[in-house]
Amino acid sequence: MLKDKIKQRAELVPLCRTWRSEKRVIGFTSGAFDLLHAGHVEYLEKARQQCDILIVGLNSDASVRRYKGKNRPVIPEHERIKIVAALASVDYVYGFNERRNRKNIEQLKPDIYIKAGDYTVDQLTSQEFVTAYGGKAVLIPIESDTSTSKIIEKIRADKTGSFQSVQFENQIHFLRHESKSKPAVFVDRDGTINMDTEYLHEPEKFQLLPGVLPGLKKMQDMGFRLIIVTNQAGIGLGYFTKEDFYRVNRRMFQLLAEQNIQIDKIYFCPHSIAENCNCRKPKTGLIEQAQRDLNIDMAHSFMIGDTTIDLQTGKNAGLKTVLVETGKGGKDGKYPVHADFIAKNLLFAADWILALERETKEK
């Protein structure tokens, strides 16, 4: 019966002692298993082949939110646990609130700790606890290209359409609208997202920097709006046109779309310094416009860039700031300002934001 496979962790502790005395190999794995798909099923089938009894720890709704962001899980815990229990490969399943598996390992003491093989055994935070009592860790290679995030993005794409944009004035507007207040990550473009080529206006010269795709994807999955704010003085100086700028952006959209990354809006200043406009960073005109357009939760938003101009913009707007060491790496020396965090690239910036969000939610 399904209900016989769903347990509390405390119930499984004495059962594990009994199975060990009977020399039965106990396997343990864990995960959110949100929107169960073929990749999950294949993984659990292979995990079951490693042991006599497979126990699955299911992350609670609260722990999934701490890791994946406030929009996850899609399927609530009480439903996810029944779905996992229905699989023939799973012998027992229980829910747990901790983010890490240390407590699970210490209490159950499985013979085999099983995880998906998208990292190395040395990176497993619970590896030392497993080996301490004589257990071992096993990684199962990921073969399926399916993921919950990809399923969610496909649903969004089907609902909102393609990456079509409408361009006018100094904004690029996407044909998608969300009225609910959400935090945003404001990101500079040149030197932060792409190689900093002076007065970039040729699409073929656009090159994404390392860490950009996984970094933006991680921030998107956390529930942040992704907004680009960029100074483009080359337009005002006559070095290139707005149409050139749009063509470069279209190349960027193509590359981001390959990873299902959607930019909510691009705001840009086409003016030179001499024009003394209110939209050129570090003035906050672009960010203020974004706040009006998109109902941004500014208190939980961030500014990421490679110059002190970007940092000063964030400070002026009351945002937390991240300096990336790509591009100019903060060596432009325009403003005596310090970032809240310095990151190697956008991926490291996303990791810090994620850690900060978890810390805030756990308080």
Task: Please check whether the two domains, 2-140 and 148-362, share a CATH topology.
Answer: yes
Least confident of 2-6, 24-28, 140-144, 226-230: 140-144
At the fourth CATH level, the homologous superfamily of domain 2-140 is HUPs (3.40.50.620)
Higher pLDDT, 275 or 148: 275
Catalytic residue list: 188, 190
Spatial neighbors of 274 by CB under 8 A, at least 6 apart, are none
Rounded Cα–Cα distance for residues 133 and 111 (Å): 9
For domain 148-362, the question of CATH label 3.40.50.1000 is answered with: yes
Rounded Cα–Cα distance for residues 303 and 313 (Å): 8
* Range with top average pLDDT, 80-94, 157-171, 173-187: 80-94
pLDDT tens digits for 273-312? 999 999 999 999 999 999 998 999 999 999 999 999 999 9
When pLDDT is cut at 50, 70 and 90, the band that residue 159 belongs to is very low
H or E stretch at 348: helix 346-362
Note the Cα 126 to chain centre separation in Å. 23
pLDDT of residue 177: 47
pLDDT of residue 305: 98
317-323 long-range contacts, CB within 8 A, separation 24+: 317/186, 317/284, 317/287, 317/288, 319/186, 319/287, 320/356, 322/349, 322/352, 322/353
Average pLDDT, the chain: 88
Per-domain residue ranges for the chain? 2-140, 148-362
As a whole-number percent, the residues of the chain with pLDDT over 90 amount to 68
In 192-330, which residue ranges form alpha helices assigned H by DSSP? 212-221, 233-236, 242-257, 285-294, 308-316
When pLDDT is cut at 50, 70 and 90, the band that residue 363 belongs to is low
